Chains A and B, each alone.
Chain A
């Protein structure tokens, strides 16, 4: 028998069949996968979660701050929590792009023929996205503090508002996960993110108080989840949070998750190329 063939037989001869991976095992493996891929692309991670947030924070603070709020210092106190929301909002589309890319590639077929708990693939990708959200938030906050931002509720306020913004980004990501599993072309996702996210952000209180916006925009502004999130982040970081407003925000985000997370799992399971 030829040399390569005997090696092949040796490699095949393992008759043992490992047990089906448990759901947590499968999730951990997919987290490892996303991590390997992301760390192989460290430059992109740095651009998305460090450079962009820093550049936008500087632009808004120094270029528009004076015009919007009279002074840069005052404006930063208002803007920074909104900037945290802005930073992660632009990143929520990634999960959709990640999932769509996987589906378009052949590797999806292999995942589908393995005896796995299928949602593990989505959760693993989502977990790494949460890490990039956290990096983006820490960059924004750290730079903000260097520029003179002072969290009035201290570190506990900082922590709570970061958690809230993470939860918000997590819930929005599920919407894009569903879109990523339904659109025909990856480009549609990018287009959609411009058409949906930017109007939402600019009709929110991220950059400015909404009281000066035209009246007809009232309902849009009031029910805008971006507004809810940034108002709550602001309230938590400055210690002015009211129970009612917080409850509304948490319930809204909870509803988004309750609808879109199971839907994403379902869409993924049903998805065929």
Chain B
């Protein structure tokens, strides 16, 4: 028998007033995997997580968690999920310890067990020293850890993490990553949203890129990269003033748009074949454009993302023009 999907979303639509945020989104997450949802600010990631975690009602479409309907069986769904939202869901008027005791009791532990669990988690998440302080006075990283600890009181079968590391310093970020990996080893399915492509690359087994209200690309990080070309060439020019010319050469030789980096001497482009890259470099030097440095590599998810969103934006424009 095929295992029930942890998340199964079909034709999900959600609008706020007149603003359509999700326009027929499909998503399937297998049990025991880490699934990354990528999208820029305003793409609808938080809205999607809200619907998956029973906080928001979908307008239409079917949303199932372990085969349970999020609207009709909300209570049963809540028994199997944990949520760490974009903004920490902790009680700022209480101490860290009281927060964990509260959520432990609400999860169904006896008063005694709730206290034991609270201490265990405070210790595991490095919060014992701050346990007596009001959560409202915690730093962003501490609040986030408390929030994840609260979601872990009863190890959920499925954990939602909405931008778990946005606004965290690099150290806290890697701590959160460690937590996610530990959870997955433990058998929890994780759905996380992120704007950091590196994060999805580091953690996710599969990734969905959302844009324009639906999934515009889906697959393993490697598949996504492959789908838009096998690699990319990065070039640093000796003279930034020549970047416009260099861009034209690359476009002509590689038949793709070059991407201009923040550094005015740098640009990069997708290449499907390394031999073409060599050709491009030759053409550049023949045109009198000198390169300081160049490198050939796999495209970063960042580039995948820009290409995909660009592609979908073009598709949208075409659709509108055809109408």
Contact = CB atoms under 8 A, between A and B. Distances in A.
Interface of A: 2, 4-5, 7-15, 17-21, 25-26, 29, 32-33, 36-37, 40, 105-116, 272-273
A21 B111 CA distance: 11
- Interface bracket on B: 35 or more
Interface of B: 50, 53-57, 75-76, 78-79, 81-83, 85, 87-94, 98, 102-103, 105-110, 113, 117, 120-121, 123-126, 134, 150, 152, 154-155, 175, 178-179, 182-183, 185-186
Nearest to B79: A115
B91 A33 contact: yes
Contacts of A106: 85, 87-90
Given A20-B108, A40-B93, A107-B91, A12 B186 contact: yes
27 contacts: A4-B178, A7-B123, A8-B179, A10-B120, A12-B155, A12-B183, A18-B109, A18-B154, A21-B106, A25-B105, A25-B108, A32-B102, A36-B98, A37-B93, A37-B94, A40-B93, A105-B91, A106-B87, A109-B85, A110-B89, A110-B90, A110-B103, A113-B78, A113-B83, A115-B78, A272-B50, A272-B55
Given A11-B123, A18-B107, A112-B54, 6 more contacts: A9-B185, A9-B186, A40-B93, A40-B134, A110-B150, A273-B55
A76 B102 CA distance: 45
A200 to B, nearest CB: 31
Contact of B106 (A12, A19, A29): A29
A101 to B, nearest CB: 9
Contacts of B126: 4
Nearest to A272: B56
Contacts of B79: 17, 20, 115
Contacts of A26: 106
A32 B111 CA distance: 11
B121 A11 contact: yes
Nearest to A113: B83
A14 B155 contact: yes
A13 B76 CA distance: 22
